Each structure stands twice: as structure tokens, then as C-alpha cells.
Structure 1
Amino acid sequence: MEAHGAGIRRVLLLVFCIAGICSAYIYQGFVQETLSTKRFGPDGQRFDHLAFLNLAQNGVCLVWSYIMIKIWSSEESSGGAPWWSYWSAGISNTIGPAMGIEALKYISYPAQVLAKSSKMIPVMLMGTLFYGIRYTIPEYLCSVLVAGGVSTFAILKTSSKTISKLAHPNAPLGYGLCLLNLAFDGFTNATQDSLNARYPKTGAWGIMLGMNLWGTMYNMIYMFVLPYGSGSKAIGFCIQHPEAAWDILLYCCCGAVGQNFIFLTINQFGSLAVTTITTTRKFGSIVVSSIMSGNPLSSKQWGCVFMVFSGLSYQIFLKWQKLLRSQNKSKTT
């Protein structure tokens, strides 16, 4: 009876995590797209300082994680990763998302989401070329579905209504920025995995604090110290257009809540569960963008979307099978 109750509580916790991740990031995507396409004020000015979103979100998440550590200090045991160990992951986690956000100036939000969903392709390509890794036929099938869907979506004609919302329509540049975003994300993930292995006692709030501490410092230097930084202009724009400042605050709060649920899910259910949830969330973001933001997709483009997410879903299914086999094997030995 006690085991049954524990199982129910675990299922409810998973549902809670799914709802938290999906609602936070789907709404954040909507706000992000609004900021990148909306015209503010009677003169119709655009908010062109999208990189400022990273600084704002880092700052909010830094404060959030610090408060959570102070409230739940008993969860943070000694032996966690020291704050300075996140410096390299902080660099990649600063540059990568900034490129992904900047891509919204050149391609639509659905195109950006699809491009960023193809992370498995460069991972498999690098594994094959540099490490001699051989993948199974089903894994290659997944990559073909994803690559085919993204590339076909890229060459299909985008509606004039969607193009008119972009600041500087330029598909090659937009997709190139997304590709660089994926490369930096891969380094971030690998570094975080390495830190988790070296410091297994690191708690979720500690990871969140370390990453956002370095992200805040790097973005402050980029936005306010370097000569081409636009931090002052971004703040000036927000003072002139308070509506933009409100959108940025909503964007940051969604990011903080989303990170909270992601780290909670990793701790309780593992990274594969997070991958499954976030993949579903990305599909939901495209649907919301198409309906609420007025980015109509043609039937052929919807076919590409389903093609990409079919490949991603099949890849996740293969990973779950592999995980279950390894768990069963460990139980029998």
C-alpha cells in the first residue's frame, strides 16, 4: 500500500513537471516572438536589442536560484561543484542562446524551433567523423527524418505575412546562427555532464546559480563594456516603451520558472525525461506560434514539422528502450 502511494506521488510529480516546463516555455516562446516582431509606439520602432534578453534572464534566474538556496539550504549539501567551475559552460551558454535569439531577426519562430530541434545531426556527424562511432540503422533513420524535414522546410516559400514581420529576412544567416547555437549548446551540455560526474552532490539550485552567475557577468561585459554593446540602448528603449520592459520581465520570469522545473525533472527523473518533455514542448510552441502569432504554415510546411518530430519521437523511443534494457540487465546481475 505504501509503495502504491509512493508511485502515485511520483506520477503526480511528473505531471506537475510536464505542466510546468510546457506552460513556462511555450509562453516564453510566444513572448520572445512578440518582442522580435512587434512594433512599439506611434513611430513603430522595433526592439532590436534581442541579446539583452539573455542578460535580463540570467540576472532574474541568478536572484531566483540564490533565494531558493537560502530557503531550501538543507537540500544543498557540501561537496557540490564550486562556483568558478562553471566559467567555461557559462561562456558557451552565453554565446549560444544569444545567437538563437538573434536568428529571429532573419527567420520565423517556427523555422528557428525546427532548426534548433536538429541537435542530433551535428552530434552524430561529429561522432562519425572524429570518433569513429557507428550508429544503428534506426538512429540513421531518425537523423534522415529530422534533416529532411528541416532542409525541406527551409527551402519552401514562407508566407509574405510572416516575412513582413521579420526585421531583416535572411534565411541562410538565420539558419547559420541556429547551427552555431546548437554547437555551443552541445559544449554546454557536455561540460555540465562532466561537472555532474565530478561533483555528484551538486544540487539543482547550485547548477542554476553557477550557470547564471557567469552568464550575468559575461553578458554585462558584452552589453555594457565592449564598444559594440547595446545595453544602454536597450534600457533606453524600455524606458521609452514600458510595454517592452513588461514583455522582457515576463520572458525572464518564464525562463526562471522553466529552469526550475527542468532541474527538478533532471534530479527526479533523469535527462531523458527532460528531452522527451522539451521535444513535446517545441511542437506545442510551433502550434501556438501558428495560431496565436499569425504565422500561417502551408500544408507542406506542416508535413515538414511532423517529419522532424516523428524523427525526434522515434529517437526518444529508442533511448527509452536502451535505458529499460540496461536497467533490466542491472537487476539480473
Structure 2
Amino acid sequence: MDFHGRRAAELVFCITGIWSAYIYQGVLQETLSTKRFGRNKERFEHLAFLNLAQSAVCLIWSFIMINIWRKARGGRAPWRSYWSAGITNTIGPAMGIEALKYISYPAQVMAKSSKMIPVMLMGTLVYGIKYTFQEYLCSLLVAGGVSIFALAKTSSKTINKLANPNAPLGYGLCFLNLVFDGFTNATQDSISTRYPKTNTWDMMLGMNLWSTIYNSIFMFGWPQASGYEAVQFCKDNPEAASDILYYCLCGAVGQNFIFFTIRRFGSLTNTTITTTRKFVSIVVSSLLSGNPLSRKQWGSVAMVFSGLSYQIYLKRKKSKKIKRKKKAF
């Protein structure tokens, strides 16, 4: 196989890995939030437990990968560097998962796709950053699409599957998830700048170490904490326990595919793959999980992903310009 054929095969491998891991994780996440388990047909109400379980599995996974692949030991960020990002990395995803009690999975994916809006808003108001017309157009398409989706009538079948339907609360939790994610990403960027030898597995280990500590305190820190009930539910319902394990493994495998994609093809390619994956997740959810979308909602989905696709195109165009300037010098 020649160089171009090998590169194409690697890209297909990355796309397949990321899509498979995260689409299946999305299906499991929706199943755990809507399905009724056991003879008594009980819901798994302790969705925050998913955050602890995934943190623990990713912690073990990253520790194994570091010890298998790492050669040089010096120069990585100390564990204490991650304590603050660990807090927001604990609270943010927990809010995103908790939102599934109040809104459908496609609605959650749509809301979390609007990450660029608070980023641009904070950049303009706090740092005085000026954006181009095209960037504002992308933001407008995404914001408009999410708004139309939220206001469109949701099918009664979808509403009946939710534990406590409450759209304002669900979207509010997703917005807070984005705010906390923004702080987490900014802190991770700062750590990468201060400690250049820190790779993704180092960061994965540091982040999940603190997340596991915080989540363990939250879930088991007092006698009435819900972690005990979650464990008992898993003992009584092995099917739920296996779904949680697969959910966590999907997250760990997905993170490794993302790491490989960024290393081989760059962050822009990774962004393109993960963005299209979100759209496919909505389609899969609608077809397999019984969440029918109205025409208006499908139109809003098209608006959001048109905006995101245009944003990726602008980034790629900007990246090519920078490369041409570097070559000229």
C-alpha cells in the first residue's frame, strides 16, 4: 500500500473508531436515562453515577496506556495542576447527563453543539475580540437552529419516555455544562502551554484522577449519598450494570481514537469527525431509540450542522493561509 493509500486507511480507521465509540455511547446513555429495568420496571435515577464510573475507567485506562507507551518520564504536569479543572470537569458533564431527565437525547446533543456561542459571547464582552461576519453567521445559524428545535413541538412518545419533562431546566443544565466545559478547556490549554511534554494520556490521567476523587466524595461522602443506591440498583439489575460498563469503555476507547486522530491528522480533522458524529447520533437516536423528530426539528438540525460545517470550512481556510505565509518566509 502506498503512502496516500495508507493515510486514507488510517483516516477511515479514525472515523470508524470515533463514530462507533461515541454513537454507541450515546445509545447507551439514552437507554440508561429512559429504560425501565427489572421486574419492577424501575428507572436508573442516579445518572450522576455515570460520571464517576467513566472517570474511574478512564483513569485506569490512561494509567495502563502511559505505562505501556511512555518512554520519557520528566517534564509532565504535576497532578496538583488539574485540581481546578477537575472540579469543572466533574460538575459540567454531570449537568449534561442530568439534563437527559428533562429533555430528549437529540435535544441535548443540539444544545451542546452550540458551544461556539458562549465562547464568542465571552470573547467579545470580556476580551474585546472582534469576529468576522462569517463567524457571526455561523453563530446565528447554530443559535437559530437550537432555538427552533427547543420551541418546536416534541412528540408525545418522546415526552413519555422522559423521567421529568422540563425543557427550560434541561436546556439550562446544558448551557451550564458548556460554561464549565469552557473553563475546563481553557485550563487544559494553559497546562499544555506550561508543560509542553504533557501528552493527552498524561492529561487524561490527571483530569480523571481529580474527577474520580470529587465524584467519589459526592456519591459516597455521607451515609445518605446516592452512590450507595446506584450500586445497589446495579446489583439488583445486572443489565444496567453491564450498560454502564460498556458506556465507560466507549468513552475510554473514544478518547484514545481522538488522541490518535489529532496526532496523525490534526485538531481540525478531529473537529470535523466529531461534529459529523453528533449529527449521525441524532439520526441513530431518532431511528433506533424511538425519538421521532418533526419536520421543523429536522430543519433546525440542518441549520445547526450547516453552521458548524461552515465554521470548520473557515478554520480550514484560515489554516491553509497561515501555512502559505510560513512557506513564503
Q: Same fold (TM over 0.5)?
A: yes
- How far has the Cα of 1:43 moved from its partner? 1.6
2:173 partner amino acid = L
Matched, 1:273 2:250: no
Residue in 2 that maps onto 1:149:
145
The counterpart of 1:201, out of the listed 163, 179, 197, is 197
- Structure 1 stretch 92-101 or stretch 193-202: which is displaced more? 193-202
Distance 1:302 1:83, change over 3 A: same
What's the secondary structure of 1:262's corresponding residue?
helix
- How far has the Cα of 1:11 moved from its partner? 3.2
Inter-partner Cα distance in structure 2 for 1:227 and 1:153: 41
Residue in 2 that maps onto 1:297:
293
What's the secondary structure of 2:8's corresponding residue?
helix
Matched, 1:69 2:71: no
The counterpart of 2:170, out of the listed 169, 174, 198, is 174
The counterpart of 2:280, out of the listed 274, 277, 284, is 284
Q: Per-residue CA shift, 1:237-275, capped at 9, x if unaligned?
A: 001111100100110010110011112222333322221
- How far has the Cα of 1:77 moved from its partner? 4.5
Inter-partner Cα distance in structure 2 for 1:98 and 1:43: 26
1:57 partner amino acid = Q
The counterpart of 1:137, out of the listed 115, 133, 137, is 133
The counterpart of 2:116, out of the listed 104, 117, 120, is 120
The 5 Å alignment of 1:1-333 reads 5-74=2-71, 76-226=72-222, 229-333=225-329
- How far has the Cα of 1:226 moved from its partner? 4.6
- How far has the Cα of 1:15 moved from its partner? 2.2
Q: Per-residue CA shift, 1:39-87, capped at 9, x if unaligned?
A: 011221100000000100111111111111111132x552121222111
Work out the percentage of aligned pairs sharing the same amino acid. Answer: 72
Q: Per-residue CA shift, 1:282-323, capped at 9, x if unaligned?
A: 001000100000100011110000000000000010001001
1:66 partner amino acid = F
Contact 2:153 2:294 in 1 (8 A): no
Q: Per-residue CA shift, 1:139-171, capped at 9, x if unaligned?
A: 111011000000011011100000000000000
What's the secondary structure of 1:71's corresponding residue?
helix
1:63 partner amino acid = I
1:62 partner amino acid = L
- How far has the Cα of 1:227 moved from its partner? 6.3
Contact 1:93 1:188 in 2 (8 A): yes
1:21 partner amino acid = I
Inter-partner Cα distance in structure 2 for 1:260 and 1:176: 30
Inter-partner Cα distance in structure 1 for 2:275 and 2:156: 28
Inter-partner Cα distance in structure 2 for 1:196 and 1:15: 28
Mark the runs of 5 or more structure 2 residues left unpaired by the alignment: none
- Structure 1 stretch 188-197 or stretch 302-311: which is displaced more? 188-197
Inter-partner Cα distance in structure 2 for 1:86 and 1:261: 22
1:15 partner amino acid = V
Inter-partner Cα distance in structure 1 for 2:61 and 2:139: 37
2:60 partner amino acid = V
Q: Per-residue CA shift, 1:93-145, capped at 9, x if unaligned?
A: 11100000000000000000000000001111111111111111111110110
2:234 partner amino acid = C
Q: Per-residue CA shift, 1:2-46, capped at 9, x if unaligned?
A: xx9444433332222221111100000000000000001122110
Q: TM-score, normalised by structure 2?
A: 0.97
Contact 1:89 1:192 in 2 (8 A): yes
1:242 partner amino acid = P
